[in-house]
């Protein structure tokens, strides 16, 4: 739509607002009313931005901003007044009353026709049980394929035909594998692992037996038992024999916890024994070397 010839002002919109507020029926406005409202709103917005850029705290800037805000409010209220009256007119028209839409703008007349037609159709369906008017989709005709289109479709089928273009070969003439290659009748199986690989030793960390505390020493071989004195237990290798001087809380060691009481004679790892000796919690027990018993 072309821009309005005569500019709409804030006072013109205020006058339309007053007439719509006082009258129960819709009032007559200029035919390009909504286009003129949009043009005036844009003009007031540019003026407000220009005054704000010059001095945002000036009186002219505040007046321009206030006028723009009031224009937006009055335009929205005029729209609500007129839309309520147009819906009431469409409802009366759907009921069979004669309505004069001569005071409506072009946009409002289009809205009035659509709403009145819809209400009339719903009135017939809901109150009279008529079937709603629906536009049935048109089915495409089978005669739309013209001969050139059919020929083009056939050419495309030939281009994408998976069958070979040459003559078919008889089964005897089909190429096969060379005669000197044996036919593969059994699936390939990987060779078994060699005995050397299977027999290779597995390297693992040695398992250290737990250190006995307050327990009887393990039974020694016959020769060692005969040669060692009955009252002197043999200490395991890399361990220290200590006599505990006082009761102590449990001590965390490698692989186990040690509970030590006063007057206990135990075999402990060197690091734990060194710590107890340094704190004077135990004394080292000197063992005599084993003597070989000869017959």
Is residue 227 in some structural domain? no
For position 272, what pLDDT does the model report? 85
Q: Show which of 128, 146, 165 is a domain's final residue.
A: 128
Residue 153 belongs to a domain? no
Query: In a 10 Å sphere around its CB, with 0-12 CB exposed, 13-18 middle and 19+ buried, how is residue 195 labelled?
Result: exposed
pLDDT one-digit tens code per residue, 108-155: 999 999 999 999 898 888 888 877 665 444 444 444 444 445 455 555
Please give the pLDDT value at position 95.
85
- Give residue 107's pLDDT: 94
The CATH number for 84's domain is 1.20.58.1030
The 10 Å Cβ neighbour count of residue 218 is: 10
Number of domains making up the chain: 2
**Residue 286 belongs to domain spanning:** 234-295
CA dist 157 and 162 (Å) reads 10
Rounded CA-CA distance 117/101 in Å is 14
CA 116 to chain CA mean position, Å: 48
Sequence-distant (6+) residues with CB within 8 A of 36 are 4, 6, 7, 8, 30
The domain that holds 247 is classified in CATH as 3.40.5.50
192 is a domain residue: no
Asked, for residue 261, whether it belongs to a domain, the answer is yes
Of 104, 128, 152, at which residue does a domain stop?
Answer: 128
CA angle, 177 as apex, 175 and 179 as ends, to 5°?
115
Under DSSP, the state recorded for 25 is: S
Residue 285 covered by a domain: yes
List of the chain residues with pLDDT < 70 = 1-5, 132-237, 287-295
Is there a domain that residue 41 lies in? yes
Residue 143 burial (C-beta neighbours within 10 Å; 0-12, 13-18, 19+): exposed
Of 86, 108, 128, the one marking the end of a domain is: 128
Q: How many CB atoms lie within 10 A of CB 7?
A: 11
């Amino acid at each position: 739509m072309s821009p309005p010839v005569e500019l709409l002002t804030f006072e013109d919109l205020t006058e339309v607002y007053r007439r719509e507020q006082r009258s129960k029926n819709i009032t007559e406005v200029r035919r390009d009313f909504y286009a003129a409202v949009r043009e005036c709103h844009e003009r007031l917005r540019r003026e407000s931005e220009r005054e704000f850029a010059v001095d945002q705290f000036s009186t002219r800037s505040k007046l321009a901003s206030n006028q723009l805000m009031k224009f937006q409010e009055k335009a929205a209220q005029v729209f609500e007044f007129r839309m309520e009256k147009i819906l009431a007119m469409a409802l009366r028209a759907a009921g069979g009353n004669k309505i004069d839409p001569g005071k409506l703008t072009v946009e409002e007349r289009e809205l009035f026709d659509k709403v009145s037609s819809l209400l009339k159709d719903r009135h017939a369906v809901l109150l009279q049980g008529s079937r709603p008017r629906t536009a049935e989709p048109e089915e495409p005709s089978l005669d739309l394929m013209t001969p050139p289109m059919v020929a083009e479709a056939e050419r495309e089928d030939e281009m994408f035909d998976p069958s070979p273009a040459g003559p078919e070969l008889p089964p005897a003439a089909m190429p096969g594998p060379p005669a000197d290659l044996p036919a593969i009748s059994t699936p390939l199986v990987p060779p078994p692992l060699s005995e050397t690989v299977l027999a290779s030793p597995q390297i693992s960390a040695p398992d250290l037996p737990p250190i006995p505390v307050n327990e009887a020493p393990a039974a020694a071989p016959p020769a060692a038992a005969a040669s060692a004195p009955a009252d002197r237990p043999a200490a395991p290798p890399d361990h220290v024999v200590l006599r505990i001087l006082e009761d102590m809380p449990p001590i965390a060691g490698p692989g186990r916890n040690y509970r030590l009481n006063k007057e206990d004679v135990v075999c402990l790892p060197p690091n734990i024994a060194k710590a107890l000796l340094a704190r004077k919690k135990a004394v080292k027990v000197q063992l005599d070397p084993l003597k070989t018993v000869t017959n």
